[in-house]
Amino acid sequence: MNLLSEPVGVSHYMIVGAVMFVAGVVCMASKRNLLGVLMGIELVLNGANVNFVAFSSRFLQSEEGRSLGLDGQLIAVFVIVLAAAEAAVALAITLNFYNNYGTVDVDRASELKG
């Protein structure tokens, strides 16, 4: 099965979503900068969104075929809203951390007091 010679289908979207997810996990694991870790989290969430949309158009239709297939799109919009809220809170924490320590190095976060 050669994916390059086939028309674009669910398997192509799954590969793109998996590559985005793995790139996000590698970015989260390898970066010491807090902003790099946040970018990795966004990549993971966007990789999941690609898979939600791909599956909704293919597998979530009713027996009569009258479904709009918007379940995955609605979940993706919810994840985007959740990611925007997460980014706002994380950016506020990052700015506060920078004001206190003068760096955004994740290794210095062990000095935080709870």
pLDDT tens, position by position, 28-60:
999 888 888 888 999 999 999 998 888 876 665
Q: Is residue 5 part of a domain?
A: no
Whole-number Cα distances in Å, 96 to 13, 81, 87, 88, 104: 38, 23, 14, 12, 10
Q: What is the CATH number of the domain that holds 18?
A: 1.10.287.3510
Q: What percent of the chain has pLDDT over 90?
A: 27
Residue 45 has a pLDDT of 92
**41 touches 24 (CB < 8 A):** yes
The rounded distance, in Å, linking the Cα atoms of 12 and 14 is: 5
Residue range 49-75: average pLDDT?
71
Tell me which residue range forms the domain holding 71. 10-105
The mean predicted confidence, pLDDT, of the chain is: 82
**25 touches 41 (CB < 8 A):** no
Q: Is residue 46 part of a domain?
A: yes
Residue 103 has a pLDDT of 81
Residue 30 has a pLDDT of 92
User: What's the whole-model pTM score?
Assistant: 0.75
Residue 100 has a pLDDT of 82
Q: Is residue 71 part of a domain?
A: yes
Confidence band of 97 (pLDDT split at 50, 70, 90): confident
Please give the tally of structural domains in the chain.
1
